[in-house]
C-alpha cells in the first residue's frame, strides 16, 4: 500500500523526478565505474604473468620495462644483445628463459618475436600455462601463433596467411608483403595481453627486416639456417630456486658486456600501484563529491515539493495516516528512486564495458569484466542507500512536521 502510494506520488512529479533520477544515475555510474575499473585493472595486471622471477631488458626504468615487455604498453627504448639472452639461458641458476622481440604489428595487434619456450613456460593467472584452441606452436620460420582475440576479431583460422607491418601503429605504410606468415596455431583465451598478440619466430623478425634480395634467398631456403637474431627486447626468466633471485638481479645489473637491467615483476607492479594510488584517491574523492551533490539534489527536490504536497498530506491525515507514516512515505520515495538509479547504473556500466571492452584492451591493455555483481559493488550500493536515507531524512522530517501541524489545525 505504502509502496504504491510512494510510486504514485513520484509519478505525479515526473519532470523533477526524472531530472533527479538522471543526476543520481550519472553520479552512481561514475562511482561504480571508478571502483570497478580500479579493481579490474589490478586483477587484470596481476594475472597477466605468473611464475616469472625476473624480467631482463635494457635500462629504462623497471616500470617501463614491465609495461612494454609484459603488457605491450609503451615502446622499448632499446634492445639487448642476443648473446646476453644466450648467457641468461645458459646460466646455472636459470630454469628457463623466454626471449621477447617487439616492434612490429598486424592490423593494430602487437607482433611478438619469441621461440617455442614461450608456449612451454609462459604462465598467467594462477600459474596456468598457455593452451591451443587449434593448431600447434611454430614449425617453420614463417609460422605464426595468434591470440584468441586476434583470431576472433579478424576471423582468422589455422592455415590463413597474414602480413606483418613495420611499427606498432594501427596504420602503417610499410608492410612486409614479401614475407607472409602462415597461422600454425590459435591460443586459448587467457584474458591477458597474450590474447591480443601475434607471435612469430625470432629468426623471422630478423629476416623480414633484411634487404629484399637477402630475404628472397631465405624464402627460397638457401640461407634460412644462417639467420641469427642480433638482439631481443627483453627476456623473461624463471629460476631454479627463488633464493638466488636477488643475487642474480644484482649480477645482471652490474653486467659488464651489455647494458642490462633485471627487475622483479612483483616489485615493479607494486611501484605501479603506488604511483596509481594518488590518482585513484583523487578519482574516488571526485566520485564521492558528485554522488553527494546528487543526493543533496534529491533532498532538495523532495524538500521543494513539500508546499505542493500540503493537500496530499492533509488527505492522508484525514484517511488516518499518522505523522510517522508520512515520514516513512517521503523516505520510501527517496529510497525507491535511489534503488532504481543503482540498478540502472549497474546495467549502464556493465553494458558500456561490454561494448567498449575490445577497445579498452587494444588501446590500454585493460581486460575488464562486464560483470559488476560483486561484494564491492554491493558494499557501494549499501553505502549509497544509507547516505540517501540520511539526506532524505531532512525532507521526511519536514513532512512529519507538516503532518503534525495538519492534525493540530484540523
pLDDT value for 166 = 75
**Cell numbers 574516488: residue:** 284
pLDDT value for 8 = 83
Q: Between 360 and 354, whose confidence is greater?
A: 354
The cell for 132 is: 591451443
Distance CA 228, CA 241 (A): 31
The confidence band for 90, taking pLDDT boundaries of 50, 70 and 90, is very high
Considering 100-109, 314-323, 393-402, the range whose residues carry the highest mean pLDDT is 100-109
pLDDT value for 160 = 92
pLDDT value for 366 = 66
Answer yes or no: is pLDDT of 151 > 80: yes
Taking alpha carbons only, the member of 335, 73, 31, 51 closest to residue 196 is 73
Answer yes or no: is pLDDT of 172 > 70: no
**Cell numbers 612490429: residue:** 104
The confidence band for 276, taking pLDDT boundaries of 50, 70 and 90, is confident
pLDDT value for 409 = 56
User: What pTM value is reported for the model?
Assistant: 0.69
pLDDT digits (tens, 9 = 90+) for 192-227: 889 889 999 998 888 888 777 777 777 776 666 667
The secondary structure of 353-368, three-state, reads HHHHHHHHHHHHCCCC
Mean pLDDT of the chain: 84
Percent of the chain with pLDDT over 90: 23
Distances (CA, A) of 162 to 47, 148, 205: 29, 15, 14
pLDDT value for 30 = 86
pLDDT digits (tens, 9 = 90+) for 36-71: 887 877 777 777 888 889 999 998 888 888 888 888
The cell for 403 is: 503532518
Distance CA 208, CA 217 (A): 12
Strand-strand pairing, 94-106 and 123-124:
unpaired
pLDDT value for 147 = 92
Are the CB atoms for 80 and 111 separated by under 8 Å? Answer: no
Answer yes or no: is pLDDT of 186 > 90: yes
pLDDT value for 271 = 83
Give the residue-averaged pLDDT of 143-169: 87
Amino acid at each position: 500500500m505504502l509502496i504504491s502510494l510512494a510510486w504514485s506520488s513520484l509519478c505525479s512529479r515526473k519532470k523533477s523526478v526524472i531530472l533527479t533520477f538522471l543526476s543520481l544515475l550519472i553520479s552512481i555510474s561514475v562511482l561504480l565505474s571508478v571502483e570497478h575499473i580500479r579493481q579490474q585493472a589490478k586483477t587484470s595486471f596481476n594475472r597477466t604473468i605468473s611464475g616469472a622471477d625476473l624480467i631482463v631488458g635494457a635500462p629504462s626504468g623497471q616500470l617501463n620495462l614491465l609495461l612494454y615487455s609484459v603488457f605491450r604498453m609503451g615502446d622499448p627504448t632499446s634492445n639487448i644483445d642476443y648473446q646476453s639472452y644466450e648467457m641468461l639461458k645458459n646460466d646455472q641458476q636459470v630454469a628457463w628463459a623466454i626471449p621477447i622481440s617487439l616492434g612490429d604489428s598486424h592490423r593494430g595487434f602487437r607482433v611478438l618475436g619469441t621461440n617455442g619456450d614461450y608456449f612451454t613456460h609462459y604462465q598467467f593467472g594462477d600459474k596456468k600455462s598457455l593452451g591451443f584452441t587449434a593448431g600447434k606452436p611454430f614449425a617453420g620460420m614463417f609460422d605464426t601463433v595468434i591470440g584468441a582475440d586476434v583470431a576472433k576479431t579478424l576471423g582468422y583460422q589455422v592455415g590463413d596467411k597474414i602480413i606483418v607491418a613495420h611499427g606498432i601503429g594501427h596504420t602503417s605504410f610499410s608492410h612486409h608483403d614479401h614475407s607472409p606468415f602462415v597461422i600454425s596455431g590459435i591460443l586459448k583465451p587467457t584474458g591477458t595481453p597474450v590474447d591480443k598478440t601475434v607471435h612469430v619466430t625470432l629468426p623471422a623478425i630478423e629476416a623480414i627486416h633484411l634487404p629484399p634480395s637477402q630475404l628472397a634467398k631465405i624464402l627460397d631456403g638457401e640461407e634460412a639456417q644462417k639467420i641469427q637474431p642480433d638482439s631481443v627486447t627483453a627476456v623473461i626468466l624463471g629460476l631454479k630456486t627463488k633464493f638466488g633471485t636477488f643475487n642474480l638481479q644484482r649480477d645482471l645489473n652490474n653486467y659488464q658486456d651489455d647494458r642490462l637491467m633485471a627487475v622483479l615483476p612483483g616489485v615493479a607492479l607494486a611501484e605501479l600501484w603506488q604511483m596509481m594510488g594518488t590518482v585513484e584517491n583523487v578519482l574516488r574523492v571526485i566520485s564521492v563529491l558528485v554522488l553527494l551533490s546528487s543526493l543533496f539534489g534529491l533532498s532538495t527536490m523532495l524538500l521543494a515539493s513539500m508546499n505542493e504536497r500540503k493537500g496530499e498530506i492533509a488527505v492522508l491525515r484525514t484517511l488516518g495516516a499518522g505523522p510517522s507514516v508520512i515520514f516513512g512515505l517521503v523516505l520510501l520515495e527517496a529510497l525507491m528512486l535511489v534503488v532504481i538509479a543503482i540498478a540502472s547504473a549497474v546495467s549502464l556500466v556493465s553494458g558500456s564495458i561490454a561494448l567498449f571492452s575490445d577497445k579498452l584492451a587494444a588501446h590500454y591493455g585493460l581486460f575488464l569484466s562486464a560483470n559488476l555483481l560483486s561484494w564491492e559493488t554491493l558494499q557501494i550500493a549499501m553505502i549509497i542507500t544509507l547516505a540517501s536515507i540520511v539526506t532524505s531524512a531532512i525532507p521526511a522530517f519536514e513532512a512529519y512536521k507538516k503532518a503534525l501541524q495538519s492534525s493540530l489545525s484540523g
